[in-house]
Structure 1
């Protein structure tokens, strides 16, 4: 089942852009998907971070659509406006990768560009491994290919008392800590406050998935051009490890973002144009091994 609602939205300097909202049935549950721009434009799948939703792309989706993309922004199961998976919170990021491909299948989309951040970045790398020639180009931000640096045991234990009053404070201050130094105080506070709307059980389950998911063995088999992106102020990842992952991908490259933290799509005012530049560079085969954004 798909329901469509068409509205007209004006964001920043973009012209009026069509937004279609879909409710798809996946695994017996409703999945919410935003679908921006010309239906015949280049499909761009945008994947959100742990515990969050497609709202993280709210300030950039229309701009990407205006640059010539059909921007597909799903809420993962249990996030945003999507119902939880039938079996409960997801702790396997591979399940989200399969979910994303099902979204595209139901929308009749074959080949696509994938862009993701944090767990969405890991899932983007997973898709580059599993989807083969379906992916035209991949941009994985704030993520590496191997298991993330978290204590799975500690996160699992926290599920028992995760709804304590201090949880929202931890989310707020923890988010602020990984927003880049180039971001204004006002914007930093907005990002952190928006993140407090998470379901903590879903967030921790996502992070357990982050700590377990490892597709590094598949990097040499990735066929599509791929950029791995790391922010200078991102405390969640090891930029050197991400650089090494990029070097293991046949058409891989690495980009370093000074002054940016863990959420480039929420932190960078020129995010849409930067993604467009990355994708065009990848698709023309002119990618460099390593770049630093000035």
Structure 2
């Protein structure tokens, strides 16, 4: 059973879906997207004993935009996530995120690792991500061009792994083109500037970093370096997978459960 509701988090009316029982697991989406990215994972994770919490970040999906300009600092999303943990009274939750969600996950590990049971950061490194900041800022002046949807669609296809069936890749790209280009551009500015490297050595919860071998957004060696900078962190390179493991891998809930179980047991 999935329950959905709106919560006032940090002054923003925010949409959150969650299952009822089990160990709390907070799932964070990618740039410009929403919790719909986890639609194929929620039931499988709930069946494995998790209380799955899937929010739409402020300005995304069915959540209202935050006061002021679109958020281009991923640290603000991390603060919002911490407020969500408090609002839902989550005790020692696990956190998993992908892309900007992965960066936010690492930020949460630095910020509040002592309160977390463990984190899985996918498609993310601790330093600034690859992005043309000047180009993104120019796009904010006119991001409603008709070609933007096509660019999102084709760009998504480009970073899906070669091991994914064509039909599944097509569905992922088609779903992604629903995004708001203003919000996405602000997210990507955050992707290109976010940096928590200074706090990695002090992280107080188990960490697992995951990157797809075919992820054109990332240098796997830098993700591995992030893992090596965190005490006892784990690192996984996914063969034939791109930027969106939870959407690309049909058996993702079982695999994530393995990763999370190992983190909890290691603690």
TM-score by length of 2: 0.98
Higher helix share: 2
Q: Does residue 31 of the first structure (1) align with residue 14 of the second (2)? A: yes
2:173 to 186, 192, 195: 192
Q: Does residue 89 of the first structure (1) align with residue 70 of the second (2)? A: yes
8 Å contact kept, 2:10–2:83: no
Q: Does residue 175 of the first structure (1) align with residue 156 of the second (2)? A: yes
Task: Kindly indicate whether structure 1 or structure 2 has the higher relative contact order, using CA contacts under 8 Å at least 6 residues apart.
Answer: 2
8 Å contact kept, 1:224–1:251: no
Q: Does residue 102 of the first structure (1) align with residue 83 of the second (2)? A: yes
8 Å contact kept, 2:98–2:121: yes
Residues 104-127 of structure 1, C-alpha deviation per residue, up to 9 Å, x if partnerless? Answer: 211111311010000000000000
Question: Residue 191 of structure 2 aligns with which residue?
Answer: 210
> Offset at 1:28?
2.8
Question: Residue 2 of structure 2 aligns with which residue?
Answer: 19
8 Å contact kept, 1:223–1:251: no
1:63 to 5, 30, 44: 44
Unaligned ranges ≥5, structure 2: none
8 Å contact kept, 1:20–1:36: yes
Residues 201-256 of structure 1, C-alpha deviation per residue, up to 9 Å, x if partnerless? Answer: 00000000011100011110111111100101100001000001101100211101
1:231 to 207, 212, 217: 212
Q: Which SS does the other structure have where 1:83 is aligned?
A: coil
C-alpha distance in structure 1 between counterparts of 2:16 and 2:69, whole Å:
20
Residues 178-209 of structure 1, C-alpha deviation per residue, up to 9 Å, x if partnerless? Answer: 00111110010000010000000000000000
Q: Which SS does the other structure have where 2:83 is aligned?
A: helix
8 Å contact kept, 2:23–2:51: yes
Q: Does residue 157 of the first structure (1) align with residue 138 of the second (2)? A: yes
C-alpha distance in structure 2 between counterparts of 1:282 and 1:27, whole Å:
30
Question: Residue 264 of structure 1 aligns with which residue?
Answer: 245
Q: Which SS does the other structure have where 2:117 is aligned?
A: strand
Q: Which SS does the other structure have where 1:77 is aligned?
A: coil
8 Å contact kept, 2:9–2:87: no
Question: Residue 51 of structure 1 aligns with which residue?
Answer: 32
TM-score by length of 1: 0.89
> Offset at 1:81?
0.3
Residues 82-102 of structure 1, C-alpha deviation per residue, up to 9 Å, x if partnerless? Answer: 000011310010110111111
Question: Residue 292 of structure 1 aligns with which residue?
Answer: none
8 Å contact kept, 2:28–2:55: yes
Residues 16-39 of structure 1, C-alpha deviation per residue, up to 9 Å, x if partnerless? Answer: xx111120012332100011241x
C-alpha distance in structure 1 between counterparts of 2:263 and 2:91, whole Å:
19
8 Å contact kept, 1:27–1:86: no
C-alpha distance in structure 1 between counterparts of 2:54 and 2:9, whole Å:
15
> Offset at 1:284?
1.2
> Offset at 1:271?
0.6
Question: Residue 98 of structure 2 aligns with which residue?
Answer: 117
